[in-house]
Chains A and B, each alone.
Chain A
Amino acid sequence: MNGLSLPWRNLTQRPTRSFLTLLGVSLSVAAYVALAGLSRGIDNAARDGLTENGIHLIVTERGVVDIFASALPMDLESDLRAIDGVTNVAPDLANLVPAEADSHVLLNGWGAGSFLWDTVPLVAGELPSQDQPRSVVLGSRLAESLGKRTGDTVELLYEPFLVAGIAEFDSLMNDNRAILPLSSMQELTFRNGVVTVFHLQLEDPRDAEALAEIRATIESTWPRLRTASPEGITQDNRMVEIFQGFGWAVSAIALVMAVLIVINTLVMSVTERKQELAILSAIGWGRLRIIAMIVTEGMMLTAIGSAVGIALGIASASFVSAMPAVQGLVQPEITWWLLVEIVVAVLMLGAVASFYPAWRTTRMVPVTALQGQ
């Protein structure tokens, strides 16, 4: 029998309670993993999508709640192009639009001759031509989930479109979208002359000083504009902030719940076992040793609970990201680091949570509990 056998025995001795506690801890951890993973995933999805398209800087309307609500006049394009260090400007009118089978897809309208078209990795068909306004190119994953091939017709915005080509993007977000000529996007969404965002290519995107200068120029010339790098795209975005804030709040609550569950279980369990603890004291166990045993029990519960919770969390995050409503927009970003962070946090919380009941029961004089039978 080693130092872990006794706490383990104490847990397995009360299987129902230990199981329910484990369940509580796992669900809390699962909620935390799923929410943290998804909210980190949003950042990465947006960044990867933009980077893949060779975008160095984006310009949107300042202060919009939702990036799709950004509305900029198209003629800004030439002004932005005139800025020193800016080599390319591509207007993009983007929105989540109704598609076939009750789904929503990300639809991008790109201007004729935009550099963005050059980044499309076509695997079948061709790019939609500007004189074929009702034609689109589909990301391969979107094409697959809609069951479309080149030459088929796909319904977007309640209108039939010809699938001109299919492209295989690396980024999940990009690979789940459809792209069409800007003019037809504007017409179909009643936004003539308007775009959501300008994508900029710079002379030297690694030159941080030049980048900062360009951003300052844009933001001072047009106070209603906001610039963002691909990494910073989700910052200052109210929708994402709301989602992430909500996510963090819920995950914090989840962790607090886990701690309370562990405290509650251990308070009950040590109260029941007062006599056993007094016996240990009578046969020469010091207070610290007894506390360590109880804390080990708490940490065993939280360790197993977090292992199960991580598995559940990954499963539910993948489930959420596979739901039609979010499909392709967010892929959970569950890194080893996130997991290590969670395990460490939960173990520490477990230790703290079990310390209190341990300390409380070992405060008494042993004889009181020895008699109490």
Chain B
Amino acid sequence: MTARAEVPAVVDLDRVRKEYDGGRIVALDDVTLRFGQGESVAIIGRSGSGKSSMLNAMAGLDRPTRGRVLIDGREPPSAAHWTRLRQSSMGLVFQSFLLLPTLTARENVEVAMFPRIRSVAARRARADELIAEVGLTDRAHHRPGELSGGERQRVAIARSLANDPRVLLADEPTGNLDSRTSAHVLELLMDLHKTRGMALILVTHDPAVAERCHRQIRMVDGRVVEDRVHGGEGRAA
């Protein structure tokens, strides 16, 4: 715990509550958490325990019923602010990849740069770099339908890096992949986390994945029941 207090926070959850169906379902039950710069955090817990709800709230994709989400110590006041944060400081990776089916791998990466980079050539060059970084140069011109699950997830990861985020939020990034492919994707995420020094917050069911992270948070019924720093690998310098 002491280790965390030293690093400046990137994301703060302050008594965040998320209810569905007018309060009949409580997905997040007054969660207070702080995520520091460069941390690697695994969020684990049973299905329905509120992991995705928490990640969505942290990305501004959903609004908490109560409580505050702070980014760099400030609460984004509007949807437009959240959009700008996702443009500049957050990358998102999802279990089901969520690529645009009509675009090639490289174009999927380029699309994320539209709001920030004007020049077509600059976008293309940057997308090529990222595609190379995830090892997909030879698949750059294929559409998602022509790629394997692992390749699709690597495209999604390249896309999430498009704007050099300081936080990568990944919701079960290996959940749709077999164990070998999972290992590859996980390796890639850990590498990026280390080389770029960005915080990695990932939701997972897989204890092996969780072990690789520096900190583990366990959720049960919308509450944080365990928040453990085990000082393992994955802590950015």
A286 close to B80 (CB less than 8 A): yes
- Chain B, interface residues (CB within 8 Å), range: 35 or more
Q: A283-B162, A370-B61 are known; give 19 further A-B pairs, CB within 8 A.
A: A1-B103, A2-B120, A3-B114, A6-B103, A6-B111, A10-B102, A279-B100, A280-B111, A281-B61, A282-B59, A282-B86, A282-B92, A283-B92, A284-B112, A284-B115, A286-B83, A286-B84, A289-B114, A366-B62
B128 within 8 A of A: no
Report whether B59 and A283 are in contact in the complex, using a CB–CB cutoff of 8 Å: no
Report whether B80 and A9 are in contact in the complex, using a CB–CB cutoff of 8 Å: no
Instruction: Determine whether A285 belongs to the interface, using a CB cutoff of 8 Å to chain B.
Output: yes
Chain B, range 183-198, C-beta contacts under 8 Å to A:
none
Chain A contact-residue range equals 20 to 34
Contact string, B109-145, partner A, CB cutoff 8 A, digits 1/0? 0111011100010011000000000000000000000
Question: B61 to chain A: closest CB distance in Å?
Answer: 4
Which residues of A sit under 8 angstroms from B96, Cβ to Cβ? Answer: 373
Please indicate the chain A residues that have their CB under 8 angstroms from the CB of B103 in the complex.
1, 6, 9
**How far is it, in angstroms, between the C-alpha of A373 and the C-alpha of B97 when the chains are bound?**
12
Which residues of B have CB within 8 Å of A13?
102
The residues of B that contact A10 with a CB separation of less than 8 Å are 102
Q: Is the CB of B100 within 8 A of A276?
A: yes
Complex CA–CA separation, A9 to B84 (angstroms): 25
Asked whether A279 lies within 8 Å of B114 as measured between CB atoms, the reply is: no
Which residues of B lie under 8 Å from residue A367 when comparing CB positions?
56, 61-62
How many interface contacts (CB-CB < 8 Å) are there between A and B? Answer: 73
Q: B115 touching A370 by the CB < 8 A rule?
A: no
> Sorted from nearest, which 3 A-B pairs have the closest CB atoms?
A284-B87, A367-B62, A284-B86
In the complex, whether B163 has a CB less than 8 A from a CB of chain A is: yes
Whole-angstrom CA separation of A287 from B87 in the bound complex: 13
Contact of A323 with B by CB under 8 A? no
- Chain A residue numbers with a CB within 8 Å of B160 are 283
The closest CB in chain A to the CB of B104 belongs to: A1
Closest to A366 in B: B61
A-B residue pairs in contact (CB < 8 Å), sample of 15: A1-B103, A1-B107, A3-B114, A9-B102, A13-B102, A275-B98, A282-B59, A282-B61, A283-B92, A283-B159, A286-B80, A286-B87, A287-B80, A289-B115, A366-B61
Asked whether, in the complex, the Cβ of A285 is within 8 Å of the Cβ of B114, the reply is: yes
Question: What are the residues of chain A within 8 A of B61 when measuring CB–CB?
Answer: 281-282, 365-367, 370
Determine whether B79 belongs to the interface, using a CB cutoff of 8 Å to chain A. Answer: yes
Check A282–B80 contact: CB distance below 8 A.
no
A6 to B103 Cα, complex, angstroms: 8
| CB-defined contacts of B83 to chain A, threshold 8 Å | 281, 284-287
Please give me the residue from chain A that is nearest to B99 by CB atom: A279
Give me the interface of A with B, judged by CB distance under 8 Å.
1-3, 5-6, 9-10, 13, 275-276, 279-287, 289, 365-367, 370, 373
Q: Which of B131-170 contact A (CB under 8 A)?
A: 159-160, 162-163
Closest to A284 in B: B87
| Chain A residues with CB below 8 A from B80, complex form | 286-287
Collect the chain B residues with CB atoms within 8 Å of residue A279's CB.
98-100
Taken together as a complex, chains A and B put the C-alpha atoms of A280 and B162 apart, in Å, by 13
User: In whole angstroms, how far apart are the Cα atoms of A66 and B99 in the complex?
Assistant: 66
Complex Cα distance, B100 from A289, in Å, reads 16
From A365, which residue of chain B is reached at the shortest CB distance? B62
From A286, which residue of chain B is reached at the shortest CB distance?
B83
Residues of B within 8 A of A1 (CB): 103, 107, 110-111, 120, 123-124
Complex interface bits, B32-71 against A, C-beta within 8 A gives 1, otherwise 0: 0000000000000000000000001001011100000000
User: Separation in Å of the A269 CB from the closest CB of chain B?
Assistant: 12
Residues of A within 8 A of B101 (CB): 276
Q: Are A285 and B115 in contact (CB under 8 A)?
A: yes
A contact residues around B94 at 8 Å (CB): 370
How many Å from the CB of A150 to the closest CB on chain B? Answer: 69
List chain A residues, Cβ under 8 A from B56. Answer: 367
**Cα separation A5 to B123 with both chains bound (whole Å):** 14
A9 CA to B124 CA in the complex, in Å? 17
How many angstroms between the C-alpha atoms of A373 and B99 in the bound complex?
Answer: 12
